[in-house]
Amino acid sequence: MRPIGIFDSGYGGLTVFREIRQAMPQYDYLYLGDNARAPYGPRSFELVYEFTLQAVRHLFDQGCPLVILACNTASAKALRTIQQRDLPRLFPPSGTDTDGLPTRRVLGVIRPTVEAVGDITHTRHIGIMATQGTVRSHTYELELAKLHPDITVTGEACPMWVPLVENYEYESDGADYFVQKNINHLLARDPLIDAIILGCTHFPLLYNKVRAYTPAHIQLMSQGEYVANSLKSYLRRHPTMEARLSQGGAARFFTTEQPDNFNDSAAIFLNHPVLAQHVTLA
Ligand code: DGL
């Protein structure tokens, strides 16, 4: 198998995987959740980079020619270095490749989201709800400045949201408390916001709560759909990479935690039984 690898610190990337597989059911997929070391949000640049590179290498070792970092924190803190420093060194372009790119590739979730938001906001004021790591990296601001310099961005770190999802508390009263608190805080900082990016792949699990505490005129953007569309167009534009992918319609799951825990939660997120394998990353 030469599957598409999908990586997240935990369960959140399943929200992206679900949309990608729905849009492109023909490919094989390999999902890896580093649940034992989640959340990544509060961790340093160095650690997020180290953990992400370990995960990417594991997915390459399993045969994936292409890996999607279905994690904003990893996309914000590790993607550039992996793309610019590690891949050209580890997998230099082959003579038969016409695009001159490394033979293995890694893509993130921030760029496709930033591309999409320009068509969604009218006031040109947007909010980003994300982990501390993503907000403090200012990656969204940097990407927006390149594509939509007229947009004003306000980032809101939501450090309790990932633990609520990882611990299966996203429908609890505790989730109401933290979601309402962060939404109110964000909107008080910029009342002109008319679009909010759920800039963490765990957050679609909290969508109903976020919707309940956000005024109806504000659009909420979950990333899965944008990432799936962007991947589809990427594969159209890069036929050499597309030809490397196997098309058996299968999906396998790996976790650094106990597979039983992963299976139970992933089955709820995906609506079908999941049988994950344990893996140790180093
Ligand atoms: N799903 C990850 C993201 O999109 C969560 C990060 C974490 O583990 O804190 O940022």
Structure tokens at 269: 């997120």
Whether 8 is in the pocket of ligand 1, judged by its Cβ within 6 Å, is yes
Please report the atom of ligand 1 found closest to the CA of residue 166.
8
223, 244, 264: which is the final residue of a domain? 223
Distance between CA atoms of residues 176 and 223, nearest Å: 22
| Residue 156 shares a structural domain with residue 259 | no
List, for residues 80-132, the tens digit of each pLDDT value: 999 999 999 999 988 666 678 899 999 999 999 999 999 999 999 999 999 99
Per the CB < 8 A criterion, the answer to whether 277 and 266 are in contact is: no
Per the CB < 8 A criterion, the answer to whether 143 and 105 are in contact is: no
Distance between CA atoms of residues 1 and 63, nearest Å: 7
pLDDT at 96: 66
Other beta carbons within 10 angstroms of residue 147's beta carbon come to 12
Other beta carbons within 10 angstroms of residue 206's beta carbon come to 23
| Residue 75 shares a structural domain with residue 42 | yes
Whether 75 is in the pocket of ligand 1, judged by its Cβ within 6 Å, is no
| Residue 128 shares a structural domain with residue 169 | yes
Tallying the residues shown for the chain, one arrives at: 282
Whether 157 is in the pocket of ligand 1, judged by its Cβ within 6 Å, is no
List, for residues 213-252, the tens digit of each pLDDT value: 999 999 999 999 999 999 999 999 999 999 999 999 999 9
Distance between CA atoms of residues 18 and 208, nearest Å: 18
DSSP, collapsed to helix, strand or coil, labels residue 65 as: coil
Ligand 1 centroid to Cα of residue 267, in Å, is: 19
Q: Please tell me the total count of domains within the chain.
A: 2
Enclosing domain of residue 141 = 110-223
| Percent residues over pLDDT 70 in the chain | 99
CATH number of the domain that 272 lies in? 3.40.50.1860
Per the CB < 8 A criterion, the answer to whether 77 and 204 are in contact is: no
